[in-house]
Amino acid sequence: MSKRRRKPKRKPAARPPQQLFQPVMLPNETLWFVLVNVLDYFMTFIILYKSNELGSPLQLRLIESNPIAAYFINHWGPLKGLLGFKLGMVAAICLITQRIAHHQPRTAKFVLNFGTLVTTIVVIYSVSLLIRAYG
């Protein structure tokens, strides 16, 4: 009787660990989105600050029209509340679009470009308010 040797079982090839930080997809679109949102933050802060000053040329006391942003501003003030809200929103959108970009880059690019366009319109409107008041 001959003894047959069994072949040793092969271990499955180890998969490389998934990187915690993957390369940034759509870096230009993401950068423009962040920059325009920084401008929006500063313009909103300036308008809210200036409109609430005594003797302000802005005829109305302006308030934040976004109820979620207004909640943050009312509870933590215009500087911290607005910054927290904006930073949270921009970070969430950037993280979501980065995740989408790995599977559907065109969709992520559209979302970032659309967000940049809408925020740019808001910034232009804010500048026009300040020009009308102080120009």
38-95 pLDDT, tens per residue? 999 999 888 888 777 756 665 556 777 889 988 998 898 878 998 999 999 999 999 9
Overall domain count for the chain: 1
Residues sharing a CB contact under 8 Å with residue 135, sequence separation 6 or more, in sequence order: none
Please enumerate in sequence order all residues whose Cβ is within 8 A of that of 51, keeping only pairs 6 or more positions apart, or say none. 58, 60, 61, 62
Q: Supply the range of the domain harboring residue 124.
A: 27-54+63-134
Across the range 6-32, mean pLDDT stands at 78
Residue 76 counted as domain residue: yes
Residue 20 pLDDT more than 90? Answer: no
User: Per the domain annotation, does 74 fall within a domain?
Assistant: yes
What global pTM score does this model have? 0.77
Mean pLDDT value across residues 31-38: 97
